[in-house]
Amino acid sequence: MTTMLTAAQVERGRQLLARVQDGCNAVLLGQRDLVDMCVMALCVRGHLLLEGLPGLGKTELVKAIGRLLGLAFRRVQFTPDLLPGDITGGPILQDRGGNRQFVFQPGPLFANIVLADEINRASPKTQSALLEAMQERSVTVLGETHRLPLPFFVLATQNPIELEGTYPLPEAQLDRFLFKVEVPGVDADVMTQILTSRRRGEPPALEKALTAAELDELFSLVDAVFLPQAVANYIARVCAATHPHRADSPPEVRKAVRFGASPRAAIAIGEAARAAALLAGRPNVDFDDVQRTARPALAHRLVLQHTAVVSGATPAGIVRAVLDAVPAVRKPLPEVVS
Amino acid sequence: MTVTPAAAVAAFSRRVAATSFLAGAMQAVLVVSSGVALLELALRCLGLHLAPRPIWAVLLVPVLAGGWWRQRRERLDATVAAGHLDRRLGLHGLLLCAREGQALEPAWSAHLHERLLALPAVLPRPRWRKLLVLPMLALLLAAGVSLLPAPPGAAEPPKLQARTAELDRIAEQLRDLFARGDLPAETQREIEQKVQELRQKVEAGEVPEWRDLDQLEQQLERAELLAAASREGNDGGGSGSERDGGLAKSPTPEALAKTAAALAAAGLLDEMPAPLAAGLRAAQAADGSFDPKALPQDAAGLRALAEAMAAAAGQSLGELAQRLPPEQLADLRALVEGQGLQGDDVEGVGRGGVDRGPGHAALDMTEDAQGGAEAALALPPGVALPGEWVPVGDRRTEPVVQPENNPTAGSAGAGGMGGATWQLQLAPRHRAVVQRFFDATTATGRGK
């Protein structure tokens, strides 16, 4: 028997999260859901991919997170001629006490928060240089493995694939992002607020919201959120239902999906759901938390058939169909009871 | 009162199981009732009627089985039930945690127990309309059709008819025996009670076993024989054959008077012992009939007279068949058989006849049929039967030759009868081949 978080601990976690949320909302107006997703991803130390048209505030949001958490922050502008060594760093010949030797010069990846801006403008080779960093939190150059500082987040932004000069991220790279969040546009009221409160669009100055100790405390609180077995089973069934060859998959999946979600996707949902539960003030994960986090965690992991893409199917729509088809409780109640 | 999570989950599961059982049973009621109604209607269309009977209670078995099967199929395990209950109570997974053994802080525990108080309100409720409407309609239909009066001409099943007739026959026989005083009252009551029980079974729609009816009849015969034997014992005995077999019937003066008339008509009175013949002649009226009152009235006298008459008539029954009218002949034969004798015209056991089995069939051992292949051929007098085949004649004749023309000669193939080749007709496809052959022969000079 383990002990669940107390009400006081849950309240403490909510307070810590609220500080980060408030800071982000002050920078990015009218995007509360987006901010919540970002905060959840940070709480479970997951990488985040923001997709949206230019000018929607993606980069500002990531910069704000960096300032709020008070962590080492680096920004890499991905361009088509960017090479892997440009972001991982490499050996440089240096003269040290009369001896010339190669000394490893860390690249911009050696920071707590790395903003990979317009990540899909770099070539797939450079994109893949992030694989090891994102998964193992380490970088290997010329046979030497260098540990990255912890916590380590990659917050990437990308333009929609339809834009010119973009390279789609490989599936293996996409799978390493906890969430892929689409940044929606804002309505006229929000735009009016931006125009009246911001000169030249500059966001307000932000103070550091969390100390390193508080960030550690937040991480431990999220880790202590309990995931009941029934909810874990629900996550597993949702992920399994994204596979087109299973008999219990919804018809949309069988028709449109080529490859379903990996176990890493189920792990991502489980972790993100813990953060969602803490955000909602609960000591345990609920089915609602899974439904909330499943779409951003699953959509970018599904590989669709070309014909389905042409006919207008979207990963988000497929995930919605899966969530509609898979009942939260494994066995539904008989139809003769209400 | 506090409700523990385990108890709440158990209550939830029980409610679901009970509702599932009810749903399965109602489904079975729908099927069974529809089947009964359709069967009843079909029988009515055929002019038959299937009245409700206690045996129909067997139909409860599929109903209960249906409920049990559905309850098993839709039974929720504790985890699933906890999931549903958690969602219904709005506990957001807290009940699941408690069920999985997580230690809840007092604040969460209080919250959990507070919500569990609302358990009765969130327990699943049967959808009565969905559950009951169709099955009840089907049940009412079946009951209505079954309770309708039987259609005119609806006959009992043949099985019951035969048994009812047999019961009626036994009851009538019982009444006759009792009325004649041949049956003690106790035995009559006993058999009557059994007949009554069997009749009640028949009325309830059950089909009694033929074995029971046979036993009843045998009991009746036994009782009758015992009563007769007892009566004979009381009368001071009788002939040996009567005591042993008990087959002789007690004749009545009227019957003997009638039979005596037939005996007199056959001229057989003289075949009887002289005193009895004299007694009979004294009782004979001028018109040839006999006065029953003039005959002996005691049982022993009647029996002696009957025996004597039977002995006289039994010797020549076959001959009398040519002389007496059938009624009188039947009276005589009844008398003879009633005394345990057989007439000389009866082919019984030992007389080339069969008196058991499915029918009476005389055995004919002779082969005197005329013209048959197996008819006996009489040998000339003085000729012994040869021990082996011997020639009886010898002659020579020339074979008769009648040549016949080949009817198929000249047709294609000549039917394989060896007709001349030049007579054969060639099929067009063959003709061209033959023509080419001979032309080639001529052209090369091979034929020359």
Least confident of A14-18, B39-43, B48-52, B375-379: B375-379
pLDDT band for position B354 (cuts 50, 70, 90): very low
pLDDT band for position B360 (cuts 50, 70, 90): very low
pLDDT at site A277: 92
A4 closest CB neighbour out of B77, B82, B105 = B105
| Distance, first Cα to last Cα, chain B | 135
Q: What is the pLDDT of residues B67-93, one digit of tens each?
A: 999 999 888 888 888 888 888 888 888
Taking an 8 Å cut-off on Cβ atoms, the answer to whether B103 and A284 are in contact is no
Taking an 8 Å cut-off on Cβ atoms, the answer to whether B107 and A6 are in contact is yes
Residues facing B146 on adjacent strands: none
| CA closest to A225 among chain B residues | B97
Say yes or no to pLDDT of B291 above 60. yes
Q: Where are the alpha helices (DSSP H) in A180-330?
A: 188-197, 212-223, 229-240, 251-256, 263-279, 287-298, 306-310, 315-325
Q: What is the pLDDT of residues A269-301, one digit of tens each?
A: 999 999 999 999 889 999 989 998 998 898 888
Residues of A in contact with B102 (CB under 8 A): 1-4, 226, 284
Q: What is the pLDDT of residues B200-212, one digit of tens each?
A: 877 777 777 777 7
| CA closest to A289 among chain B residues | B92
Query: Element (H or E) spanning A67, and its range?
Result: helix A58-69
Taking an 8 Å cut-off on Cβ atoms, the answer to whether A226 and B79 are in contact is no
Q: What is the pLDDT of residues A149-172, one digit of tens each?
A: 888 888 888 877 666 667 788 888
A330 closest CB neighbour out of B19, B80, B108 = B80
pLDDT at site B237: 44
**Euclidean distance between CA atoms A305 and B80, whole angstroms:** 35
pLDDT at site A253: 87
**On the CB side of A171, how many CA atoms lie within 13 Å of its CA?**
13
pLDDT at site B438: 80
The neighbour count for residue B328, using CB atoms within 10 Å, is: 19
Q: What is the bridge-based pairing of β-strands A257-259 and A303-304?
A: antiparallel
Greater model confidence, B378 or B347: B378
Say yes or no to pLDDT of B420 above 60. no
| CA closest to A331 among chain B residues | B80
Tell whether A286 is within 8 A of chain B (Cβ).
Answer: yes
Contacts of B294 (CB under 8 A, 6+ apart): B282, B283
A284 closest CB neighbour out of B16, B79, B93 = B93
Architecture of domain A225-338: Orthogonal Bundle (1.10)
Tell whether A284 is within 8 A of chain B (Cβ).
Answer: yes
Q: Which of residues 347-366 of B touch A (CB under 8 A)?
A: none
Which pair of tokens denotes residue A220? 């431990």
Residues facing A100 on adjacent strands: A95
Tell whether B72 is within 8 A of chain A (Cβ).
Answer: no
CB contact at 8 A, A21 and A35: yes
Tokens 């985040």, located at residue:
A48
Best mutation target, B102, B127, B134, to test chain A (most A CBs within 10 A): B102
| Mean pLDDT score of chain B | 75
CB pairs below 8 Å between A and B: how many?
Answer: 101
**Euclidean distance between CA atoms B229 and B224, whole angstroms:** 9
Residue type, B407: P
Share of chain B above pLDDT 70, in %: 71
Tell whether B100 is within 8 A of chain A (Cβ).
Answer: yes
Residues of B in contact with A329 (CB under 8 A): 80, 83-84, 87
Tell whether B131 is within 8 A of chain A (Cβ).
Answer: yes
- Summarize the confidence of residues B393-397 as an average pLDDT: 72
3-state secondary structure of A73: strand
In terms of Cα–Cα distance, which of B261, B306, B325, B320 is closest to B288?
A: B261
Tell whether A236 is within 8 A of chain B (Cβ).
Answer: no
The region that residue A267 occupies, defined by phi over 0 for left and psi between -120 and 50 for alpha, beta otherwise, is alpha
Say yes or no to pLDDT of B415 above 70. no
Taking an 8 Å cut-off on Cβ atoms, the answer to whether A7 and B96 are in contact is no
Taking an 8 Å cut-off on Cβ atoms, the answer to whether A336 and B93 are in contact is no
Taking an 8 Å cut-off on Cβ atoms, the answer to whether B93 and A333 are in contact is no
CB contact at 8 A, B194 and B215: no
User: Could you tell me the pTM of the whole model?
Assistant: 0.59
Say yes or no to pLDDT of B238 above 80. no
**Euclidean distance between CA atoms A53 and A118, whole angstroms:** 10
pLDDT at site B62: 92
In terms of Cα–Cα distance, which of A169, A172, A90 is closest to A132?
A: A172
Going by the DSSP 8-state scheme, the letter that residue A284 receives in this structure is B
B104 closest CB neighbour out of A4, A228, A336 = A4
pLDDT band for position B340 (cuts 50, 70, 90): low
The neighbour count for residue B398, using CB atoms within 10 Å, is: 5
Q: What's the length of chain A?
A: 338
Q: HEC profile for chain B? A: CCCCHHHHHHHHHHHHHHHHHHHHHHHHHHHHHHHHHHHHHHHHHCCCCCCCCHHHHHHHHHHHHHHHHHHHHCCCCHHHHHHHHHHHHCCCCHHHHHHCCCECCHHHHHHHHHHHCCHHHHCCCECHHHHHHHHHHHHHHHHHHHHCCCCCCCCCCHHHHHHHHHHHHHHHHHHHHHHCCCCCHHHHHHHHHHHHHHHHHHHCCCCCCHHHHHHHHHHHHHHHHHHHHHHHHHCCCCCHHHHHHCCCCCCCHHHHHHHHHHHHHCCCHHHCCHHHHHHHHHHECCCCCECHHHCCCCHHHHHHHHHHHHHHHHCCHHHHCCCCCHHHHHHHHHHHHHCCCCCCCCCCCCCCCCCCCCCCCCCCCCCCCCCCCCCCCCCCCCCCCCCCCCCCCCCCCCCCCCCCCCCCCCCHHHHHCCCCHHHCCCCHHHHHHHHHHHHHHHHHCCCC
